[in-house]
Amino acid sequence: MRETNPNSWEARADAHSFYGFTDLPTIADRGATIVTSGHGPYITDVHGRDYLDANSGLWNMVLGFDNKELAEAAKAQYDTLPGYHAFFGRMSDQAVMLSEKLIEVSPFSDGKVFYTNSGSEANDTLVKMLWFLWGAEGQPQRRKIITRKNAYHGVTAVSASMTGKPYNSVFGLPMDGFLHLTCPHYWREGKDGESEAEFTARMGQELEDMIAREGADTIAAFVAEPVMGAGGVIPPSEGYFQTIQPILQKHGIPLISDEVICGFGRTGSDWGCQSYGFMPDAIISSKVLTAGLFPMGAVILGPELSDRLTRASEAIEEFPHGFTASGHPVGCAIALKAIEMVMSDEIKGNIARLIPQFEAGMARLAEKKNIGEWRGRGLMGALEAVQDKATKTPFPGNLSVSERIANACTDQGLICRPLGQSIVLAPPFILTDEQLAEMFDKLEAALDKVF
């Protein structure tokens, strides 16, 4: 139960901090968790309580909360060139080196990188790039963006319009021209008697129909997360991208992979698109890019889009877009170190070692009577709570059951993310076997308390 002292941290947070993406009944009941420090995969609150963060912060703190190497990279850069932009013919040496590195580790043979401060801004930037590009190439009517229901691409007006969450209607979004296909979640969206292959074919047909209805020459791009993250960790149905990509290619529609969550190892490959065997035209990156130590995003353009955008910019002598902190040298220095670390044999080896244990832990908990399915890929997974396992009937209310599970987890000293009717886990890449076992034991105790 929550602190009643008006001078408590919880009361002070209520007084002057506006809560975003927060279940307000939970706050009223329990107060916010105010975090003061972290060590390894744990955070510590103002009361000295430790929590194992099974969500790596917000999917990003994959190298832990007190990583000395990253902090030293930041400190060294703060001591040398603590800030700068990437415009007017100037940029930091760190930005030059990071762009080289990102193209080197990307699936692309060549390309160029544009920096933002967040994943949302990277998606906004991408859309503006495409609008600019198609306009410059004599097709200014190609402005529509296709995404999927339940997708998450951010919160700015454009990226929220790409996002396929019903809550955006409270803002009067999506804006016109943002189209959403069915979420490719076979377990929930498949029809009675429909095989997974038939479901995937139906998803492809739905895309074909949408393109025919709207007109291929009005569509700027198709943007997808390899595994939907904030939609509740939803891997695509079998063969989804192999079905979608040829349709897009036939109509000259770029395929963009939003890898803000999936990039840099989360799905067990360097990039989510590699886990699912498709080659995008551009990648959206953020989060693990700086292992959570600096707000930064990037649009990584593959060779074709990069050449086309360069030509379009040269034609008007400028690409008129960017943020004050684009290519911030401290962010770039941290990103260079973070990439070196997440792509090291040590971290990749640990991810590969943890994945089978993670899958086994999820499968064990999925046997509980009120868990309808577990799903996931690599080190991201979700347990879907259902009132009735056989009929897949959800619990009444939208957030209540997963909120109750997440709160029970908090009581156990575990941070888990409630998303819709599911509980999501995306642990840090540095977890030990003991910490992984602790995560599942605590989650099991929480589930047993709620069900």
Residue ranges that bind ligand PLP, judged by CB under 6 A: 118-120, 123, 152-154, 225, 229-230, 258, 260-261, 286, 297
Distance CA 272, CA 287 (A): 14
User: In 117-229, where do the E strands start and end?
Assistant: 144-148, 178-181, 219-224
Q: Whole-number minimum distance, CB 1 to ligand PLP, in Å?
A: 31
Q: Whole-number minimum distance, CB 231 to ligand PLP, in Å?
A: 9
Which residues are CB-neighbours of 413 under 8 A, at least 6 positions away?
49, 50, 51, 52, 442
Is the CB of 230 or the CB of 354 nearer to ligand PLP?
A: 230
Distance CA 407, CA 348 (A): 32
Count the alpha carbons within 13 Å of 105 in the hemisphere toward its beta carbon: 22
Q: Whole-number minimum distance, CB 323 to ligand PLP, in Å?
A: 12
Is the CB of 260 or the CB of 401 nearer to ligand PLP?
A: 260
Using left for φ > 0, alpha for ψ between -120 and 50, and beta otherwise, residue 392 falls in left
Tokens found for residue 193 = 């008697």
Tokens 């929480």 correspond to 446
Amino acid at residue number 51: Y
Q: Whole-number minimum distance, CB 163 to ligand PLP, in Å?
A: 8
Amino acid at residue number 347: I
Is the CB of 86 or the CB of 227 nearer to ligand PLP?
A: 227
Q: Whole-number minimum distance, CB 273 to ligand PLP, in Å?
A: 13
Q: Whole-number minimum distance, CB 116 to ligand PLP, in Å?
A: 9
Q: Whole-number minimum distance, CB 159 to ligand PLP, in Å?
A: 6
Is the CB of 154 or the CB of 174 nearer to ligand PLP?
A: 154
Is the CB of 10 or the CB of 258 nearer to ligand PLP?
A: 258
Q: Where are the alpha helices (DSSP H) in 385-432?
A: 400-412
Distance CA 68, CA 172 (A): 44
CB 147, CB 163: distance < 8 Å: yes
Distance CA 33, CA 187 (A): 34
Tokens found for residue 441 = 């034991």
Tokens 């590969």 correspond to 352
Is the CB of 204 or the CB of 297 nearer to ligand PLP?
A: 297
Is the CB of 21 or the CB of 88 nearer to ligand PLP?
A: 21
Is the CB of 154 or the CB of 254 nearer to ligand PLP?
A: 154
Q: Whole-number minimum distance, CB 228 to ligand PLP, in Å?
A: 8
Q: Shortest Cβ contact with ligand PLP: which residue? A: 119
Rounded to 5 degrees, φ, ψ at 53 are: -90, 100
